[in-house]
Amino acid sequence: MDRRLFLGGAAFMLLGVAVSVESYRLGLGSLHKPSTGFVPFIAGSVVALLSLADVLKGLSPGKRDIKSLASIWEGLYWKKAAAIIFLTSLYSLLISRTGFVVLTPFYVGCCMRVLGYRKWFKIGLTFVFSTLAFYLLVYFFELSIPPFPPS
Amino acid sequence: MSTLQYLMNGFSISFQPMNLLFCLIGCMLGTLIGVLPGVGAPTGVALLIPISFGMNPVSAIIMMAGIYYGCMYGGSTTSILLSVPGEPTSVVTCFDGYQMALQGRAGPALGISAFGSFIAGSLAIFGMAMIAPPLAAFALKFGPAELFTVMILGISIIAYVARFSIRRAVIVAAFGLIVSSVGQDLVSGERRFAFGVPELQDGIDMVPVVMGLYGISEILLNVERTLGGNIFKEKIKNLLPSLEDWKKSILPILRGTGIGFFCGIIPGAGPTISTFTSYGVEKKVSKSPEQFGRGAIEGVASPESANNAAGQAAFIPLMTLGIPTSATAAVLFGALMIHGVTPGPNLISKHPDLFWGLTTSMWVGNVMLIILNLPLIGMWVRVLKIPYVILVPNILLFCVVGAYCVKNTMIDVLIMLVFGIVGYLMDKFDYEPAPMVMTLILGPKLEESLRQALILSGGSFGIFVSSPIAVIALGLAGFFLFSPIFMKKRLAVGYSD
């Protein structure tokens, strides 16, 4: 059994089936008047049917893992990746409450620490960088970013 | 007005000071993105989209196009100096470019790469000016059936050239179609797959998806990578190629230009395929093929010319047919739509300033790149020494800001993060994201064409074989999708299926 092939195929197959079912519920219409669910149903069916081939290939008795499942995680320090995702999610949730100028230095600094950067002085320069970036983005490119915490 | 008059008008637009500035910004950013492995052109263009909201469409597209062809220039630098391709289009340059650097000829390699790119880009832009208007006039005859089949052809070619199996590329393309259908149905107005989330009722924007698939996932894949291990330490000299170098390179440059131009026009073929094809052709026609892979200057001149010509020629189907030929072109397509410009047969007639301004600005950008990039080689080499731990948080910051500024909502940032994880998992399980980006952007148009065609034909699929254009497009799509089953390999790509 090729577990990598099986898992990838199974995930897409489940997605395809779910989309097809939901599209059917929305209504397919008819060939001369396709309705809301027509194209998503075709897309979901294509995903499900083609993924079924991967699932069956993965389950076939003669198939052995060409690349092991563990190799998915090889080279990835998953704790650092998870930390990056967590910090970025937190940053996006808090930016409208705390503002860009206040929060960004902490975000960039924390990411650098997570990734192993130890030079505190240079991490502190992120405050200068984030202020400069703010002025560039807001006054030159006219983006709408909350600068400071709302009063 | 004649083509010459249009070009003069275009130059008057591209030489406006603000447009020159934005062209320079785009070229420099593009070169930087091309130099930095791990940051791709689709992410770079997607990052600039929110920044371009305050700009007029002509300036915005000039800047973003600058990133596209700037990447071609930048990618070759790391290929030659480090044997690390900055972009997929620079993989082939590693074969001989790095060998030339090891032989103390990094300067001529970089020089011929830059000059070859300039010559190819100039010729391709001339070709674009000649071919695009009559092609757009021809494309006005396209009905919904022809449009649908041409888009299917484009998707099938993207699947054909995918790194992994065609079947998986089609799965990913269909997945992109599903994601594009989230939100409001354009025909009936009904909501699809929004599940009561108000922010999803307007659909999923392509900017956070592209940033997630190409930016965040790349960061997750390379989170421990550091740059600089084999930084080229020798002083780079003799950037101007010698007469002998020119004698060996001029015909490969011209051949590469032709191959690249042809590949650029074909939906899905694109710059990467053109580099492999041109390298293969040069090796075949060379009197000393054994030199290839050992520092043959032809092995640098031809693929670098091909990729730049293809990059410029890719704007032809994008602007005249509304068919993007690569993930980056698809993002540019999306950017134009966001600015209220619909790429397609009517673009040249409705927005002549944009088309001719863009065409002439690409030549101006090529001039900027050749004047600035060679003297700035030292600066780009120093950029490579920046530790990834400093680059990553700043790239993340701009991704977050870019995604946030699309609609000033954090939902887009969360979408970006979700698709970042999706992109990471797709890479680990051998699924390529490029087909998804293409169908995500083409999805609404694809669906509209299909439904219109079926309504017109009263439900008969015969409409898709009723015109020569549709028949040819479907036939070619069938060839690309099914021929590997019988031939056991994919032509000109080198993968088996």
Q: B60-94 pLDDT, tens per residue?
A: 889 888 888 888 788 888 888 877 776 777 888 88
Query: What are the structure tokens assigned to B237, written together?
Result: 């000299």
What are residue B183's DSSP bridge partners? B192
Quick one: closest CA in B to A93, which residue? B410
Q: φ and ψ at B338, to 5 degrees?
A: -60, -35
Cα-to-chain-centroid distance, residue B428: 23
Of B171, B394, B404, the CB nearest to A12: B171
Mean pLDDT computed over B273-298? 88
Please check whether residue A117 touches B, CB under 8 A.
Answer: yes
More confident residue, B79 or A62: B79
Which residues in chain A are contacts of B54 at CB distance < 8 A? 141-143
Q: Does B320 have pLDDT greater than 80? A: yes
Query: What are the structure tokens assigned to B244, written together?
Result: 């002998």
Q: Does B496 have pLDDT greater than 50? A: no
Q: Does A40 have pLDDT greater than 90? A: yes
Mean pLDDT computed over B465-487? 86
Q: DSSP readout, B74-110?
A: HHHHHHHHHS--SSGGGHHHHHHHHHHHHTT-HHHHH
Mean pLDDT computed over B482-492? 68
Letter string b/e over residues B468-495, b meaning 16 or more CB atoms within 10 A of that residue's CB:
ebbeebbebbeebbebbeeeeebeebee
Mean pLDDT computed over B420-430? 88
Quick one: closest CA in A to B187, which residue? A36
pLDDT band per the 50, 70, 90 thresholds, residue B495:
very low
More confident residue, B374 or B276: B276
Three-state secondary-structure class, residue B347: helix
Q: Does A15 have pLDDT greater than 50? A: yes
Dihedral (Cα; B116, B117, B118, B121), 10-degree rounding: 120
Q: How many angstroms separate the most distant Cα atoms in chain A?
A: 68
Of B192, B387, B404, the CB nearest to A36: B192
pLDDT band per the 50, 70, 90 thresholds, residue A62:
low
Distance from CA of B369 to the nearest CA of A (A): 23
Q: What is the pLDDT of residue B450?
A: 93
C-beta atoms of B54 and A47 within 8 A: no
* Mutation site, A92, A101, A118, A138, interface B, largest B CB count within 10 A: A92
d(CA B139, CA A25): 37
Which residues in chain A are contacts of B413 at CB distance < 8 A? 88-89, 92
Mean pLDDT computed over B238-252? 87
Mean pLDDT computed over A59-72? 60
* Mutation site, A41, A100, A141, A142, interface B, largest B CB count within 10 A: A141
Of B263, B385, B372, nearest in space to B30 by CA: B372
Question: pLDDT above 90 covers what percent of chain B?
Answer: 18
Please check whether residue A95 touches B, CB under 8 A.
Answer: yes
Mean pLDDT computed over A112-127? 72
Residue with tokens 């994919």: B490
Distance from CA of A63 to the nearest CA of B (A): 16
CA B421, B423, B427, B431 torsion: positive or negative? positive
Q: What is the pLDDT of residue A74?
A: 60
d(CA A143, CA A145): 6
Q: Does B488 have pLDDT greater than 90? A: no
Question: pLDDT above 70 covers what percent of chain B?
Answer: 93
d(CA B98, CA B90): 11
C-beta atoms of B54 and A107 within 8 A: no
C-beta atoms of B459 and A84 within 8 A: no
Please check whether residue A60 touches B, CB under 8 A.
Answer: no
Three-state secondary-structure class, residue B192: strand
Q: What is the pLDDT of residue B226?
A: 47
Give the amino acid at A105: P
What are residue A33's DSSP bridge partners? A30
Query: What are the structure tokens assigned to B153, written together?
Result: 């052809």
pTM of the model: 0.81
Q: What is the pLDDT of residue B483?
A: 81
* Mutation site, B53, B55, B171, B400, interface A, largest A CB count within 10 A: B171
The predicted-structure confidence for B154-205, as pLDDT tens digits, reads as follows 888 778 777 778 899 999 999 999 999 999 887 788 888 888 888 788 888 8
Which residues in chain A are contacts of B414 at CB distance < 8 A? 89, 92
Comparing A134-138, B135-139, B257-261, B335-339, the range with the smallest average pLDDT is A134-138
Query: What are the structure tokens assigned to A124, written together?
Result: 């502190």
Mean pLDDT computed over A30-48? 92
d(CA B123, CA B398): 35
Which residues in chain A are contacts of B405 at CB distance < 8 A? 143-145
Of B496, B497, B464, nearest in space to B149 by CA: B464
The mean predicted confidence, pLDDT, of chain B is: 84
